[in-house]
Structure 1
Amino acid sequence: MREDWAGHIFGWLFYRNAPWGLPLSSSPNQLYPYGTSVALTDGNPLVAVLLKPFNALLPADFQYTGLWLALCFVLMGWFGAKLVSVVSPRPAHQVLGGLLLALAPPMAARFGHPTLCAHWLVVAMLWLHLRDTPDAHAARRALALAALFNAVGAGTHPYLVAMLAPLAVALAVRLALGRVLGWGAAVAASVGFLVLDVGVFALFGYFGGSGLGAEGFGDFSADLSTLFNPMGWSKLVPSLNTAPRQGEGFGFMGVGALLLLALALLATTFRFRMLRGVPWRRGVPLAVTALLMAVYALSWRVTWSGQKVADLGSLYEPFSRLTSAFRSSGRFVWPLSYLLMACALLLWLRLWRSRPWVGTAALALAVAVQAYDWHAERSPLHRSTVFRRLQSPEWAELRGHYQHLALFPPHVQWICRYDEPLVNALGYTAYRLKLTFNSGYASRTPPELAAECNAPLRPGSIDADTAYVVATEALPQFLQQGARCGVLEGLPVCVAGSRTDAFARALERQPLR
């Protein structure tokens, strides 16, 4: 119950109480009266929408973050195994390859932002690119799977789609270059991917709030050393310096993967003949796309060990609206990181196809080193926080008599004051009592909400259906308008002076006048 996790969880909890509507993940009862959506709280709208029909069967405190993380690991292993199957039918190779990819540090480093742990979607796209596609039927099936992965990504997080869509277009180009798909069909498929992604965005409610942009492009970037800089995630390799916000551009493959890549490159010097017949052209559109995304990951301020070595500001200036929408450019290094891991796996197994035991031994070693070196203590899961639950039975008197719980002035992450423990405590109480709440976390908020951050109480604006938790400096304004105010669990709470219900009477036990 902190930071992004709290935002994700409350996006889901308020959505449970919200009526069905369009967009599908809309929550008019959160950030009331403006509303928001699960999508705008980064709360995994696809999973939320799939679970909402079962709301009555789920416990009150049910959340799906742990289940989602588990699913991401399982699917990472599954598609890692599918990737290895491109060159090896042996189950041992596929299991070890899947384990190596499931232990990739970039995915674990995203635990603080659970929706972005769906790195298996990137690996799945690599598999579609690198596997054999012999005819038009197989090509159409590959494009259908790419569309499915794009739809899942669009229902999960925009940054995933920003990587998947170019990879899907590159797949269409690859199939056209391989002459298993006509160029007209490739163009139609590419347009179809983009239309599909925009349609899913609209369906789940990504379009809304104060706009697509924010500051940070150039700060949330990848360093040139990112592929081999563990940033504290390794027990064996020392970390290099980075700028403060460059954790977003973390692309360290892991010591085991780096070891396997080094062994594969070394082995090519004396087993070069084993590379005959490798369909290198199959991977060209993929490699070009991954490299272009990696260049974008560096942003306009290109750094080495945290120090600026190049300034590309003039190059990106015409695209400022796009770069502000995808300000965390460092994340776009992930496709290159996973492509290099895939190359290490596939190249090594190809070189030792005639001696599979050598491939097995090296893979087992790489997995063992990767697992040992995986510095789990770096995970956000190891940071604890105290979640305050309001205990006074008087809060229950709000149910059935009031419709809204509000902080005055509102507390909204990024745009207003934000006391996270207080917001979480009151938000959870509002959820359990099925009330609306005017405060919380969202990646984009209505522009009107910002004007309320420091606005005074307007004459006659105390709503009889609302219980207000009031900032100390604003309390005189409520008292001047005849509000009934008292202290409840150390919090100044006010209701309309006309209220005589049990909750209003409870405030008289510690009155504020």
Structure 2
Amino acid sequence: MPASTKAAMTTPSPPASRESASPALAPTPPTPTVAPSPSPASRWAPWGAALGGLAWFLWLGGGRAIPPTRIDWMIREDWAASGFGWLFYRNAPWGLPLTSSPNQLHPHGTSVALTDGNPLLAVLFKPFNALLPADFQYHGLWLALGFALMGWFGAKLVSVVSSRPTHQLLGGLLLALAPPMAARLGHLTLCSHWLLVAMMWLQLRDTPDAHAAKRSLLWAAALNAVGAGTHPYLVAMLAPLAMALTVRLALGRVISWGRALLASVGIVILDVLIFALFGYFVGSNLGAEGFGQFSADLTTLFNPTDWSRLLPSLPVARRQGEGFGYVGAGALLLVVLSVVGAALRFRALRDLPWRRGLPFAVAVLLLAIYALSSRVTWTGRLVVDLGGLYEPFSRLTSAFRASGRFIWPLCYAVMGGALLLWLRQWRERAWVGTAVLALVVAVQAYDVRQDKSELRRRPEGFRRLQAPEWAELKGHYQHLAIFPPQVQWVCPYNEPLVNATGYMAYRLGLTFNSGYVTRTPPSIAEECNATMRPGGVDGDTVYVVVRQQVGAFLRAGARCGMLEGLPVCVSGQRNDAFAQALTRQPLR
């Protein structure tokens, strides 16, 4: 809590004098309390927590992801979608939407936004494309920044109740050690949980006047803008929390209800505009199956599902990993101590501004209810079926099918709330708060299994096509295609083949028809089992053909041969160096 608020809550009002009791005389105004300036140590505490968050990221295996010129670590599975989303965008012309990428998933096209490629950073880095090396990625730096900002805003959150640097440092470290962050490393853009902690800080910090309220609302709009430029699931959580902030400011009579409504509508419009500008609505079906399965279990806050060294795991359904919300053994210990302490020292908490956090709590609980989805489960077993309740909103639920992710605000509310409650209880004996926080952070760090980190488990390396003949494609062909196309979750998908040929297409500046994107045009499914018709071989396209289709290409007049173990075909009318190279190992 800021020093001025603390002083106002702990300093008794001066007794009324005889003169002030007289109706003939105006009351003497109280002497204003001047808030002391933060100590240098307090100003450095968030930086220390940020360094702690960065150190935790490195311990999780993040060191190999940070160098921008290393891309091998991420050209696999879900990471490949993000990596290729950026790489193909580098070769794409500028257009609207800003992140449109017509040369990926050709001829349908896609956008960085639909590949989880972090459209915000893609747009920021694209102007410098000519200066960047061919193998360049920003995702590792974004991950490192996310863990550092988790510590930073965790420390800022603790500053709401304690100005002590040690408390802020330890509190920031505890939040940076949150298991849901480490468990999300498989989805690069979804690791931006610091946005949720920052929004919680805005909700609970002191906002005494309209000027301070304006700053808070601008902060909230900025957080939403970053979220909209990063991943839509983040905005689906941030927007309701921003609305809760406007309600809190209106209830506290800091702003009018009209301004609160205007701010809420403005933030929503801002999010939608950024979505449109960054290409979330580019000709794809935004819905997908899975709502009711990618959910959070009722045990999620205390169920480590193999992420803990100290606590046993409870069963969950097969797809409920998306609803992972385990807060960690250290955080659970702090929750227990805070609740017990609150029961024993309730009188010391009576002056807490409970109403300040009420709108935030309501928003968090509503998001948590959605996280449970239409099939509410306990240890993976169905408890309540709410399918009829959600049926009218099927378009929304299919767009945000991984409802379990919406448990994250509750996860951080529980961790942050326990921190604030504990430090508030022991503000008169700060050493008690410090000692317990140090113990809790140590337990948390030991409990979380860093060997479960995706950055530690996944081996490096993907196949790079090395034959010098591939270089002959540049300037002579426009398209590289796998036939039939291979698109993850839609068509049969050979990941090593798609990654190898996709990378070659990027390096040669060619379009590519296959890959991994989060949302695809419905028409792509019709092409999964395409067959080559006579005369259907395009003269500007190089085809990597599945073996079953080679005969159809030969009958259509194509020239086919083996190159690095791959059946490759071009139009029979081509007589360039690459076409001639295919005759060295011809397919007949």
Q: TM-score, normalised by structure 1?
A: 0.99
Structure 2 equivalent of residue 313 of structure 1: 387
Counterparts of 1:329-408 in structure 2 under 5 Å? 329-385=403-459, 386-408=461-483
Contact 1:111-1:380 at 8 Å conserved across structures: yes
Find the aligned partners of 1:215 and 1:449 in 2 and give their Cα distance: 17
Structure number, greater radius of gyration: 2
Letter in 1 for 2:85: G
Counterparts of 1:176-325 in structure 2 under 5 Å? 176-325=250-399
Contact 2:535-2:557 at 8 Å conserved across structures: no
Contact 2:229-2:278 at 8 Å conserved across structures: yes
The answer as to 2:508 corresponding to 1:450 is no
Find the aligned partners of 2:151 and 2:128 in 1 and give their Cα distance: 28
- Structure 2: segments with no counterpart, 5+ residues: 1-74
Contact 1:209-1:444 at 8 Å conserved across structures: no
The superposition leaves residues 260-300 of structure 1 with CA deviations (integer Å, 9 ceiling, x where unpaired) of 11111111233222213210000000001101111111111
Letter in 2 for 1:468: Y
Structure 1 equivalent of residue 208 of structure 2: 134
Structure 2 equivalent of residue 32 of structure 1: 106
Structure 2 equivalent of residue 460 of structure 1: 535
Contact 1:387-1:425 at 8 Å conserved across structures: yes
The superposition leaves residues 69-127 of structure 1 with CA deviations (integer Å, 9 ceiling, x where unpaired) of 10100110110011001011111111111100000001110000010000000001100
Deviates more, 1:453-462 or 1:113-122: 453-462
Shift of 1:475: 1.1
The superposition leaves residues 149-172 of structure 1 with CA deviations (integer Å, 9 ceiling, x where unpaired) of 000000000100000000001111
The answer as to 2:157 corresponding to 1:90 is no
Letter in 2 for 1:10: F
Letter in 1 for 2:232: P
Shift of 1:384: 2.7
The answer as to 2:92 corresponding to 1:18 is yes
Structure 2 equivalent of residue 476 of structure 1: 551
Contact 2:451-2:457 at 8 Å conserved across structures: no
Contact 1:464-1:499 at 8 Å conserved across structures: yes
Shift of 1:306: 0.7
Find the aligned partners of 1:336 and 1:412 in 2 and give their Cα distance: 35
| Secondary structure in 2 matching 1:511 | coil
Structure 1 equivalent of residue 576 of structure 2: 501
Shift of 1:458: 3.2
Find the aligned partners of 1:502 and 1:361 in 2 and give their Cα distance: 73
| Secondary structure in 1 matching 2:224 | helix
Letter in 2 for 1:436: T
- Structure 1: segments with no counterpart, 5+ residues: none
Structure 2 equivalent of residue 425 of structure 1: 500
Aligned equivalent of 1:148, options 214, 222, 242:
222
Letter in 2 for 1:285: P
The answer as to 2:115 corresponding to 1:65 is no
The superposition leaves residues 218-275 of structure 1 with CA deviations (integer Å, 9 ceiling, x where unpaired) of 1000000000000111000000010011110011111111111111111123322221
Contact 1:408-1:468 at 8 Å conserved across structures: yes
Shift of 1:60: 1.4
The answer as to 2:492 corresponding to 1:492 is no
Find the aligned partners of 1:296 and 1:163 in 2 and give their Cα distance: 11
The answer as to 2:181 corresponding to 1:107 is yes
Find the aligned partners of 1:166 and 1:430 in 2 and give their Cα distance: 42
Deviates more, 1:63-72 or 1:270-279: 270-279
Aligned equivalent of 2:245, options 164, 171, 177:
171
The superposition leaves residues 129-160 of structure 1 with CA deviations (integer Å, 9 ceiling, x where unpaired) of 01111011111111111000000000000100
Q: TM-score, normalised by structure 2?
A: 0.86
Contact 1:130-1:282 at 8 Å conserved across structures: yes
The answer as to 2:487 corresponding to 1:412 is yes
For the aligned residues, what is the CA RMSD?
1.0
Letter in 2 for 1:508: T
Find the aligned partners of 1:318 and 1:446 in 2 and give their Cα distance: 24
Contact 1:12-1:48 at 8 Å conserved across structures: yes
Deviates more, 1:411-420 or 1:56-65: 56-65
Find the aligned partners of 2:464 and 2:114 in 1 and give their Cα distance: 25
Shift of 1:478: 1.1
Structure 1 equivalent of residue 231 of structure 2: 157
The answer as to 2:378 corresponding to 1:327 is no
Structure 1 equivalent of residue 57 of structure 2: none
The superposition leaves residues 387-430 of structure 1 with CA deviations (integer Å, 9 ceiling, x where unpaired) of 11111111111111111110111011111111010000000001
Find the aligned partners of 2:439 and 2:283 in 1 and give their Cα distance: 49
Contact 1:208-1:444 at 8 Å conserved across structures: no
